[in-house]
Homo-oligomer: A and B are copies of this chain.
């Protein structure tokens, strides 16, 4: 499963340049959000006169060097880490995306996906707009500039949001004014807090922690924040009836130490494990996580089931970009390179293996085979989320419907493919209750096939959001 994006915004209200430059703070915050995107990273700061940008392909420490960062002058700035995709990973698509227009500069960092991105781009092209990249972010920039030519920033953002369908957590700089926007249903996380003499906005609260800041709260769905003259102005541009927080942030994406929409991810995962133990008990000898994503749920499962928590798989902490040659032998080596079995722990045992989710099933199969070969007498798979039966259109690049194993097979079918002695998925209710947020305020589109926003060719869920024209 591929990860998505992370956004940051920092403003410092001192007269003098702050001892820790904004660019450096953004750099640290991006480090804390690195798990949200490893393909590219970027920082744009504004010194009151003009913006300065550093961006490039690679991990945060590869893209930035100290001298360049410290040389980026400005008390306000935004940052971005971008997920890895095989598709269109060109330097032009790196963010922040900066444009110049009549009245100045606009810089944007975006996490999410516009369902009507292509439509909007077509409309803009029909009006004569030209594009240099192929990202939603460029579309957002053009829409925003168009409105800024006629309206003040608040109206401009409102008018842009009226046209958007999809997920977006944004940090924006209009010249040196920092703003943050979250879509009306709050798909993707976005929160803010204080740092000494300033503020920070970020995709996850861990970025605020890293800066020794204090989390104030989540940005509300539909809310626009403007950080101006030492103050935070809040504009609730859209009053949502229901939210649609992505459940997979809790299940997999977010760091366990982040608090998202009021819920500590660690606690959610632990409750998932406990619930899973109740929904799918098994008479096992040991409970083991598939590291790292299964760890916290496995702790919960062990606690609830009173079965010993014991590691059976060890993950190589150093596996980054590697390469393998073609051939079956090599493919197995590749798996072993990433994950090794601890034979003595497993031998002769009935192992309860906890993972967060199953996408294609191929990795699960390989891992279960490894555990069996290491001597387990039984392997029972317990999954901390319901079957993924439909694709995500809201910013998570998981897999196409064809590739999703649970879109085509019954649970028994999946059990057979992954070669488990038994397979237990968490129920949708179980997941919702573990998260601790009402189902009406969560997106479970990929788990049910019914989405909280209108998606051409897909169902719309009952307690649905307003359509665009109803705003």
Q: Which residues does A use to contact B, with CB under 8 Å?
A: 19-20, 24, 28, 31-32, 34-35, 38, 59-61, 66, 70, 91, 97-102, 106, 122, 125-126, 128-132, 134, 141-142, 145-146, 149, 206, 209-212, 255-257, 259, 264, 266-267, 292, 296, 299, 302-303, 308-311, 314, 316-323, 325, 327, 329-330, 332-333, 336-337, 340-345
Contacts and interface: CB of A to CB of B under 8 A. Distances in A.
Instruction: Describe A's contact surface by its main secondary structure.
Output: mixed
B126 A311 contact: no
A325 to B, nearest CB: 7
Contacts of A317: 35, 292, 317
B329 A31 contact: no
Given A98-B132, A100-B132, A210-B336, A264 B342 contact: yes
B325 A20 contact: yes
Contact of A101 (B24, B102, B131): B131
A20 B35 CA distance: 33
A49 B470 CA distance: 39
A341 B257 contact: yes
B303 A299 contact: no
Contacts of A292: 317
Nearest to A141: B130
Chain A to chain B: the 10 pairs with minimum beta-carbon distance, closest first: A102-B125, A257-B314, A34-B318, A99-B130, A264-B344, A100-B131, A257-B342, A101-B130, A66-B323, A130-B145
A322 B64 CA distance: 10
A332 B209 contact: no
Given A31-B322, A101-B131, A302-B309, 16 more contacts: A19-B329, A20-B330, A28-B337, A32-B340, A61-B322, A101-B125, A101-B128, A101-B129, A101-B130, A128-B146, A129-B129, A130-B141, A130-B142, A257-B340, A266-B345, A299-B309
A100 B126 CA distance: 12
A119 to B, nearest CB: 13
A142 B128 CA distance: 8
